[in-house]
Amino acid sequence: MDAHDAMIQFDSHFGTHTPLDQWQQLQHWIKTYGLAVGNTPLKSSPKPLFMSHQDRSRMANATTAVNSIVDTVARLLVTRDDVARFLGFNKIRHAFLFSDCGYSDMYPVVRYDVFYDRNLNQLKFMEFNTHSPSSIGLHDQLVECLKKLTTIRAMKNSASFQVDRLIDGLAETLIQTYRDYCRKKGHPISPKPFIVVMASKTSTVRNDAEQMASLLRSRGMHCNYAYPQQLSDCNGGLALNGEKIDIIYRDAIQDFAVPLFGMHDKLRYSVQYLVKCLVNRARFRRDNLRYLFNDNLYVKAMSVTKACRLASVCVVNPAFSYMLSSKLVLALLHDHVFRDCFTQKQRSAIRKYIPWTHVLKPGSVHYEDKTIDIIEFVKSNKDRFVIKPALGYGGYGVAIGCKSDQKAWNRRVENTYKYERLDIVQDLLDIPEVQFPELNDDGSVGYQTSKINLNLWSFSGRFLGAFVRASKGPVINLHAGGMLVPVFYV
């Protein structure tokens, strides 16, 4: 059975096994497992995305090629000041990000956001999430939910599926990184290290962190969830409830390190956080302003920042990975100034896998073998481009040319360089679409078309799995109401 046949068989089984019952089954299991994004139950569909093992090989090869490119950028960041400046960082002002993490790998865990046109065999990497890749726990628990549904159980009688378990890749990487850390620091290696999965108490991915901790414990590992303020100093390291921590797997670095950035950075993070509260209609309290703008209220988390700076605990991913998540990295790959920093093989991979991306600021640039004035060209050809904040997240601040009227688009372009924002402009690609069963307004279940992106996971440089995010609109993100969908290989 190939992927196309699997989709046909699923649709046939699903239609004969009362779709609404299966939809309700899925919601029941999501609630039973406690899967959520923020305070909202995780959105998914009873139908996984079926792909072939050949598709998986293509994704693995592409991930290997892009890992090589990101490795080169990481080395350039350390050795060349002009690369750091291009990405908007200063080695003195952002010394915390450049501090030695105590081990070799600059981004042990990475999630690449990819558009995959299977008909053209075309993979395009839209973002590198080396900073705080999330949804490992949600995905692996969601797979268990889908396996309980009537149609999936019926299909198992005639087909065998391979499903990626991302937590296994994470577990192996955490131990491998910890051992590298201990060897380099001269510390004894604990046979059963204490692992803390850390995320802010109010983070929208806190549930994912808790799910990861639970899954790691189910594999016999000593692991707990904690938020930064719960950790305390302990003999030069960190402790949770008096027990010394060996490994921290963390979510967003700004949850505990904002005071180490300049006022401009803090203001940007604070505005993003306020926007997120407004979008989610979270209750606003006066204390929030003090939390956002008063450094003194971060003191309880400063033990974590100190541990990161001194590498007194093995923190995965390291602070350094924050810089590699900048979308300016994609712009650097297409900038002729840095062309000779990459091998011929890497340059070929850049052309193949990375859509044209450039910093949105006045000047002449190379585009499709010609030289253009980027500002005027982007204004005049809005349907070809998308504008994104270099360090944005959750889909906030993204402007899509074909969805914008000309005046609003021109204003966005002008404001970017007028206010010296770090924005990139990128080729707008056709977003793949798939039909998934979803609940209709009348309470029935029917097929609706969703736009999708693939999320490819690399652990310690190896591709070990993928899942899908899906949405009705062009901004595909779980925080914006999108769905998480597992991939089943046939």
User: Has residue 293 got a pLDDT over 60?
Assistant: no
- Beta strand 222-226 with 231-234: parallel, antiparallel or unpaired? unpaired
Least confident of 190-199, 218-227, 360-369: 360-369
For 446-452, what is the mean pLDDT?
93
List, in order, residues 6 or more apart from 220 with CB less than 8 Å away.
none
For 172-189, what is the mean pLDDT?
97
Check if the beta carbon of residue 421 is closer than 8 Å to that of residue 389. Answer: yes
Residue 296, preceding peptide bond in cis (omega within 30° of 0)? no
Question: Which amino acid is present at 84?
Answer: A
Strand, helix or coil for residue 490: coil
Grade residue 177 by pLDDT with cuts at 50, 70 and 90: very high
Environment class of 292 (CB within 10 Å of its CB; exposed 0-12, middle 13-18, buried 19+)? middle
pLDDT tens sequence across 189-198 = 999 999 999 9
The confidence score (pLDDT) of residue 485 equals: 97
The listed range with the strongest mean pLDDT (50-54, 292-296, 473-477) is: 50-54
C-alpha to C-alpha distance for 290 and 390, rounded to whole angstroms = 27
| CA distance to 7, 23, 282, 452, 487, per residue, from 48 (Å) | 9, 13, 31, 12, 6
The CATH code of the domain at 356-427 is 3.30.1490
The listed range with the strongest mean pLDDT (232-236, 284-288, 312-316, 370-374) is: 312-316
pLDDT tens sequence across 245-285 = 999 999 888 777 755 555 555 555 566 656 766 766 666 55
Instruction: Describe the strand order of the beta sheet including 247-250 as a list of residue ranges.
Output: 222-226, 194-198, 247-250, 314-316
Closest CA to 248 of 235, 258, 238, 261: 238
Choose between 378 and 1: higher pLDDT.
Answer: 378
Environment class of 136 (CB within 10 Å of its CB; exposed 0-12, middle 13-18, buried 19+)? buried
Check if the beta carbon of residue 199 is closer than 8 Å to that of residue 249. Answer: no
- Domain boundaries defined on the chain: 3-327+432-489, 356-427
As a residue count, the chain comes to 490
C-alpha to C-alpha distance for 203 and 229, rounded to whole angstroms = 13
**C-alpha R_g of the chain:** 23
> Which structure tokens are listed for 394?
């959750």
Residue environment code for 93-124, b if the CB has 16+ CB neighbours within 10 A, otherwise e: ebebbbbebbbebbbbbbbbbbbbeeeeeebb
Check if the beta carbon of residue 250 is closer than 8 Å to that of residue 223. Answer: no
The distance between the two most distant Cα atoms of the chain, rounded to a whole number of Å, is 64
User: Has residue 419 got a pLDDT over 80?
Assistant: no
Check if the beta carbon of residue 137 is closer than 8 Å to that of residue 215. Answer: yes
The confidence score (pLDDT) of residue 295 equals: 41
pLDDT tens sequence across 199-221 = 988 888 999 999 999 999 999 99
C-alpha to C-alpha distance for 478 and 42, rounded to whole angstroms = 8
List, in order, residues 6 or more apart from 276 with CB less than 8 Å away.
204, 282, 394, 396, 479
User: Has residue 170 got a pLDDT over 60?
Assistant: yes
The confidence score (pLDDT) of residue 305 equals: 84
The confidence score (pLDDT) of residue 92 equals: 84
C-alpha to C-alpha distance for 37 and 45, rounded to whole angstroms = 15
Choose between 260 and 234: higher pLDDT.
Answer: 234
- The helix or strand, by DSSP H or E, that contains position 32, with its residue range, turns out to be helix 19-33
Choose between 132 and 385: higher pLDDT.
Answer: 385
For 169-198, what is the mean pLDDT?
97
The percentage of residues in the chain with a pLDDT greater than 70, rounded to a whole number, is 90
> Which structure tokens are listed for 424?
């990139």
Grade residue 286 by pLDDT with cuts at 50, 70 and 90: low
C-alpha to C-alpha distance for 49 and 4, rounded to whole angstroms = 10
